[in-house]
Amino acid sequence: MRSHYCGELNESLIDQEVEICGWVHRRRDHGGVIFFDMRDREGMAQIVFDPDTVESFALAETVRSEYVLKIKGRVRARPEGTVNKDIPTGGIEVLGKELTILNRAETPPFQLDEHITVGEDVRLKYRYIDLRRPEIAEKLRFRSKVTSNIRNFLDHEGFMDIETPILTRATPEGARDYLVPSRTHSGEFFALPQSPQLFKQLLMVSGMDRYYQIAKCFRDEDLRADRQPEFTQIDIETSFLEESDIMDITQRMMVKLFKDELNVDLGEFPHITYADAMNRYGSDRPDLRFGLELVDIKDLMAAVDFKVFSGPANDPKGRVAALKVPGGASIARRAIDAYTKFVGIYGARGLAWIKVNDLSQGLEGLQSPIIKFMPEDVVMQLLDRLGAETGDIIFFGADKAKIVNEALGALRVKLAEDLDLFEREWAPCWVVDFPMFEELEGGALTPLHHPFTAPSCSLEELQKNPAEALSRAYDMVLNGTELGGGSIRIHDQDMQKIVLKVLGIGDEEANEKFGFLLDALKYGCPPHGGLAFGLDRIVMLMTGAASIRDVIAFPKTQSAACVMTDAPSEVSQEQLRELSIRVRKPVTEDGSSS
Ligand code: ASP
């Protein structure tokens, strides 16, 4: 039907006849001449119809926005003064000769250039129109380049692309499962995979050696900003490699991707231990584009006469930390109040601060609601430890370590954004030496990664002191975002059973849930390990998209629904009967069922 894409036309085609197909982006009538901007996947071109081509001109007059047209015409240079330098085809236009209306379009629910004014729900309901917007289409095109780049790299490194089932059993990755009722096994359910974790491990038992998959994963998580219930992982598993090898391969993959697609040199990937990351950045995905490190002052505050600080300083689970912001003394009181509110989101009950107005004047030169509670020598030691200078502000966190880390960790990122403290555009790192387990309230242990991650200690040590055990897990972090994470896995049945036991999963439950894995570990399982990257997040970071929804063709809303297809939806009684399911509607507040 066509000889060129609209966006491909250029000066080299001047005087040639072309045929293009696409959508009418805009129509303008100018002094007896009709102009269209025609749009297709590759871009926009200007078409002109003058009244000399009588039939086509008459037809062109009936054309509206978003009609689908085929146009035959001649490329010519745009007249002087009408060249549009902003678009690649801005130096030429097509003088239309023949026009075919391939399809009409009703007035669309929103004009593409007015998308900002309509709510996201409207855009998602008519997502196929929203995707016509060049900036969104561009993100999908970029995503396609990313997957292709990664596939090429992994194919080249000897990885095999193997699909794993979608209808399967639960894989514990810390979220709720999406369940699918089975018709043929009444009363039983499949779970959609939270990740292909166990299948990829089984593929190693099979000897596949190097596996990858661009895999859909499903997690029914509590609604948190910018998460999707289904998302895509670049899932990787290898045999007979140590963590350093796996980190090396995947780091090279990421470096190549950024170089090829963005011409960015990611540079060095420093390794930071989990403990260090928490201490210095309050986060296991530290943003290293700027400094602003947390400094521990627990020892200094243990004896002060200020409960807010001395309490946590004497609590083994407490933390007292300071965050110095160079030049921050000019932060206004109102802004400090806003930051106090901000850290409240993370459970902090306040935000103490000291402004260093003039260091040379000692206490006199400081301004703070809290220094009156501290002996002068403690304040001086504090300033010394932080290397405080005139013009700085120091913020404090004192609470359970978890709260201080989350609050000051988030505050440091917010301050960097507000005060534009970024020193580099890209700052990757590896976080290593994670704890095996995290203690829940009440003392139970839960895996920090997943229950198949190998500990760095022996079986005996693990049994003796599980809460202190470190794991062989690693996360790749970029600009404060976890790009991916993985681990060396347990390949020994006894170790796997012990880890499950530490997690409170007894033999019977272990056999019921993971019997197939425990069996496989008996039949010649090689040492293996891998990791998975979040594709959506990578594309989001690389394109600078504001939301993960912008890099997914058909995303779900924040409440995990699809407003376009109206999914999830009710199903017929007949379908339910076949599945042996009776739906119990949630009871509403007045006691009736809705
Ligand atoms: N299955 C893990 C996850 O989804 C990644 C891995 O350990 O390879 O986070």
Q: Is 282 in the pocket of ligand 1 (CB under 6 A)?
A: no
CA–CA distance, 424 with 426 (Å, rounded to integer): 6
Phi and psi at 321, nearest 5°, equal -140, 155
Q: Give the DSSP letter of residue 525.
A: P
CA–CA distance, 23 with 74 (Å, rounded to integer): 19
Q: Is 46 in the pocket of ligand 1 (CB under 6 A)?
A: no
Quick one: which atom of ligand 1 is closest to the CA of 200? 8
Q: Give the DSSP letter of residue 364.
A: G
CA–CA distance, 425 with 87 (Å, rounded to integer): 27
Query: Which sequence spans correspond to the domains of the chain?
Result: 6-103, 290-423
Q: Ligand 1 mean position to 485 CA, how many Å? A: 6
Query: Rounded to the nearest 10 degrees, how much is the dihedral formed by the CA atoms of 414, 418, 421, 424?
Result: 80
Q: Is 250 in the pocket of ligand 1 (CB under 6 A)?
A: no
Q: Is 173 in the pocket of ligand 1 (CB under 6 A)?
A: yes
Within 216-332, residue ranges assigned H as helices are 243-262, 274-281, 298-301, 307-313
DSSP string, 404-421: HHHHHHHHHHHHHHHTT-
CA–CA distance, 407 with 419 (Å, rounded to integer): 18
Q: Is 532 in the pocket of ligand 1 (CB under 6 A)?
A: yes
Q: Is 197 in the pocket of ligand 1 (CB under 6 A)?
A: yes
Quick one: which atom of ligand 1 is closest to the CA of 237? 8
Q: Is 177 in the pocket of ligand 1 (CB under 6 A)?
A: no
H or E segment and range at residue 26: strand 17-30
* Residues 108 and 126 sit within 8 Å (Cβ to Cβ): yes
Query: Quick one: which of 3, 44, 45, 37 has its CA closest to 20?
Result: 3
Q: Ligand 1 mean position to 388 CA, how many Å? A: 42
To test the pocket of ligand 1, the residue of 249, 448, 449 to mutate (highest count of ligand atoms within 8 Å of its CB) is 449
DSSP-based three-state secondary structure for 146: helix
Q: Is 487 in the pocket of ligand 1 (CB under 6 A)?
A: yes
Return the CATH class of domain 290-423: alpha beta
Per-residue pLDDT at 455: 98
What's this model's pTM, rounded to 2 decimal places?
A: 0.94
Nearest CA to ligand 1 atom 8: 531
Q: Ligand 1 mean position to 230 CA, how many Å? A: 15
Q: Is 409 in the pocket of ligand 1 (CB under 6 A)?
A: no
CA 126 to chain CA mean position, Å: 24
CA–CA distance, 62 with 71 (Å, rounded to integer): 15
If phi > 0 it is left, if psi is from -120 to 50 it is alpha, else beta; for residue 566 that is left
Quick one: which atom of ligand 1 is closest to the CA of 531? 8
Quick one: which atom of ligand 1 is closest to the CA of 452? 7
Q: Give the DSSP letter of residue 171.
A: -
Helix 333-344 vs helix 401-418: crossing angle, to nearest 10: 140
Q: Is 195 in the pocket of ligand 1 (CB under 6 A)?
A: yes
Long-range contacts of 116-124 (CB under 8 A, 24+ apart): 120/549, 120/557, 121/557, 121/563, 124/549, 124/555, 124/557, 124/562, 124/563, 124/564
Percent helix, percent strand, percent coil in the chain, to nearest 5: 35, 25, 40
Amino acid, single-letter form, for residue 591: G
Phi and psi at 593, nearest 5°, equal -90, 140
Q: Ligand 1 mean position to 67 CA, how many Å? A: 46
The 3-state secondary structure of 183-218, one letter per residue: CCCCCCEEECCCCCHHHHHHHHHCCCCEEEEEEEEE
Greatest Cα-to-Cα distance within the chain, rounded to the nearest angstrom: 93
Quick one: which atom of ligand 1 is closest to the CA of 530? 8
Sign of the C-alpha dihedral computed for residues 508, 510, 512 and 516 taken in this order: negative
Amino acid, single-letter form, for residue 358: D
In the block, residue with structure tokens 């989001």: 540
Per-residue pLDDT at 589: 66
Q: Ligand 1 mean position to 530 CA, how many Å? A: 8
Quick one: which atom of ligand 1 is closest to the CA of 217? 4
Residue 469 tokens read as: 């055990």
* Residues 159 and 210 sit within 8 Å (Cβ to Cβ): yes
DSSP-based three-state secondary structure for 60: helix
Nearest CA to ligand 1 atom 4: 195
Q: Is 485 in the pocket of ligand 1 (CB under 6 A)?
A: yes
Per-residue pLDDT at 555: 96
Can you give the C-alpha Rg of the chain in angstroms? 30
End-to-end CA distance of the chain: 54
Q: Ligand 1 mean position to 497 CA, how many Å? A: 20
Nearest CA to ligand 1 atom 7: 486
Phi and psi at 289, nearest 5°, equal -75, -10
pLDDT tens for the chain, 594 residues: list them.
Answer: 999 999 999 999 999 999 999 999 999 998 789 999 999 999 999 999 999 999 999 999 999 999 999 999 999 999 888 899 888 899 999 999 999 999 999 999 988 877 677 888 999 999 999 999 998 999 999 999 999 999 999 999 999 999 999 999 988 888 999 999 999 999 999 999 999 999 999 999 999 999 999 999 999 987 766 789 999 999 999 999 999 999 999 999 999 999 999 999 999 999 999 999 999 999 999 999 999 999 999 999 998 989 999 999 999 999 999 999 999 999 999 999 999 999 999 999 999 999 999 999 999 999 999 999 899 999 999 999 999 999 999 999 999 999 999 999 999 999 999 999 999 999 999 999 999 999 888 889 999 999 999 999 999 999 999 999 999 999 999 999 999 999 999 999 999 999 999 999 999 999 999 999 999 999 999 999 999 999 999 999 999 999 999 999 999 998 899 999 999 999 999 999 999 999 988 877 666 655
Q: Is 536 in the pocket of ligand 1 (CB under 6 A)?
A: no
CATH superfamily of 6-103: Nucleic acid-binding proteins (2.40.50.140)
